[in-house]
Amino acid sequence: MLKFKKKIFTILASLCLIFALSSSSLSVQASANFDTPAQESIAEFVEENTAPLDNSRTPLDTIYFSISEDGEFHPQTGDSSTYAAVEDVIIGSYTFYDDGSKNGKHYYEVQMRASTIDKRDYFTFSSLSCKPENNSKYLSASKATYPSYLKKTSISDAKQYYYDGSGPSSPYVWVKSSYTINGTTDYSIPAKKLTKPIK
């Protein structure tokens, strides 16, 4: 009888040890699973949205640029609306806006403006893409086609997105665009970073 009790005690002790180890393992796994989705969901916080806002927009950053005949990007130090070099074809700008908060979401917007320098040239296509902070890839591009008969010498486009809650404390966004001139010549601007100034 004593041997039987010892066997029962040994079996119970073994089961308790196995249960304790299993619980510890499950706890570690639960922590890992809890952390992983939180990291992955960061990239999903930003979504496209074009809902109108009541708040006035606050400009955060602007980049002025020109594009030469050979497709080279040249940054400008100020408003490039009057800038014209012999070899340049396009002048333009990107502006990063804080659109304010609405219904628990914080909105931002990137606006692109571009003009041909020689008014005999005109746009037939443009594309604007942005990759906000916390996103692993670019949002879907905003694309526009302009019929040749319109002879569009100036264009603009914008992408708006939001973060749930307040969003990053010092937000930034990567922006890139492309253009077709006269239906025959394509120009692409490599990604540029716009940021909220640190005060």
The burial class, CB within 10 Å (0-12 / 13-18 / 19+), for 11 is exposed
140-152: pLDDT as tens digits: 888 999 999 999 9
Closest CA to 161 of 105, 94, 93, 122: 105
Its pTM surpasses 0.75: no
Residue 51's pLDDT is 54
144 or 48: which leads in pLDDT = 144
Confidence of residue 85 (pLDDT cuts 50, 70, 90): low
89-106: pLDDT as tens digits: 999 999 999 988 888 888
CATH number of 47-195: 2.60.40
The most distant pair of C-alpha atoms in the chain lies apart, rounded to whole Å, by 107
Read off the DSSP letter of residue 3: H
